[in-house]
Structure 1
């Protein structure tokens, strides 16, 4: 057994998934969206500082001092989009889409905050790594995010950028091994080649983010959300 260090560069594709208020992926007609129309996907861990306690002696010297360990509260996620993606806003913020005369989603309407739960996966390139098992990718997963908000945008002589931030991960995800094939799984016998399958190990209840190397290519990016079918 060895350890592989790797350098993620160039985020290629992200995928949004609708999850339940209990953190489980939800099957549905438009509950999955693979897209590449973004500038950044930012992950920011936030911690609760451990409490510090101490006692001084009568002469002013410390008799003892201790500090509890810091604890991860959540990881906030922010996405900056290159344009308007109605299905992404609907999946993340729960805001209604605007349809044209043919029933196509062409925009969205921003109203009161709607409680929403979702997941995001992002794939990156990994330069300088051998392709013995296929092309390697960096894989980043936040299996249970809650909420988010659309921040200010500017219409000017240039491209408008739209940013959603303030979404935070939650513990206790029911993502498990997930609904998608994202890792190479060993074949039925030693002679069988590995095949694409679900996560090799399920997401634990206290785990907020997963990042690892995968040799399964990211999904094809599109504008429209697609059906999520859970086998």
Structure 2
């Protein structure tokens, strides 16, 4: 599929991680939704230090450009839906439950910097060849994975006459224990069988991006189970 054109951001999924960056198994540790305005991923770069060699007469004898360091990505999710489950997984703020045990809100408490989550996003791909002639798959998406995001924080909230947009910020970390992940996100054979990542993300990496014909998850807007991958072996 040459030169894919990226269109709309179709869906986002977050997954609860433990303090070592590993997916937490269980029925209330995932959340997927599509009611969002944007997903921003800004690289956090530390500039390297240039080295200049100068002679006593002022002439430059040599120069070495400093090598920048990628500290990670500062993420920003702008969304509309006030979902207690999403806020709880990403920030660690506790859910408020109604009489029937259903989530109805959340508390804003002290920051939990040891809380972490994985963030996945699917952006629709445009093109005449996104639907294969052999009938495999229902389209194509650019898939983004940031396997370890920390310091989730809700931004300013203004309620007025216009549509209300909430903002979540966070920062990626390298490493962690995502491995090949607990979800089926890419084809693993010529028949288009959906499966987990074929290779784990590297220990020094912050993000993985690739084309996939595996559709994004449904917009459930409730807790979703995390049961695949490492969970199957536990």
Task: Please give the range of the TM-score, normalised by the shorter of the 2 chains.
Answer: over 0.9
Of the candidates 74, 86, 89, which is equivalent to residue 88 of structure 1? Answer: 86
Q: Report the equivalent of 1:190.
A: none
Deviations 1:112-144 (A, max 9, x none): 001211001111111114111421111011011
1:173–1:203 contact (8 Å) kept in structure 2: no
Q: Report the equivalent of 2:178.
A: 175
1:43–1:77 contact (8 Å) kept in structure 2: yes
Q: Report the equivalent of 1:155.
A: 159
Q: Report the equivalent of 2:60.
A: 62
Give the ranges of 4+ consecutive aligned residues of structure 1 lying more than 2 Å apart after TM superposition.
none
Q: Distance in 1 between matches of 2:2 and 2:117?
A: 30
Deviations 1:196-216 (A, max 9, x none): 100122111111101110010
Q: Is 2:135 the partner of 1:137? A: no
Deviations 1:41-80 (A, max 9, x none): 1111111111111122121111221123111111111111
SS, match of residue 126 in structure 2: coil
The count of corresponding residues between Structure 1 and Structure 2 is 223
TM alignment of 1:11-160, pairs within 5 A: 11-115=9-113, 116-130=115-129, 131-132=131-132, 133-134=136-137, 135-160=139-164
Residue 27 of structure 1, CA deviation: 0.4
Report the TM-score when normalising by structure 1.
Answer: 0.92
2:122–2:141 contact (8 Å) kept in structure 1: yes
Q: Distance in 2 between matches of 1:4 and 1:51?
A: 38
Residue 226 of structure 1, CA deviation: 1.6
2:80–2:165 contact (8 Å) kept in structure 1: yes
1:173–1:204 contact (8 Å) kept in structure 2: no
Q: Distance in 2 between matches of 1:168 and 1:152?
A: 18
Deviations 1:145-194 (A, max 9, x none): 111211111111122111011x111111221111000011117xxxxx33
SS, match of residue 89 in structure 1: helix
Unpaired runs of 5+ residues, structure 1, are 188-192
1:17–1:25 contact (8 Å) kept in structure 2: yes
Q: CA RMSD in A?
A: 1.4
Report the TM-score when normalising by structure 2.
Answer: 0.91
1:36–1:222 contact (8 Å) kept in structure 2: no
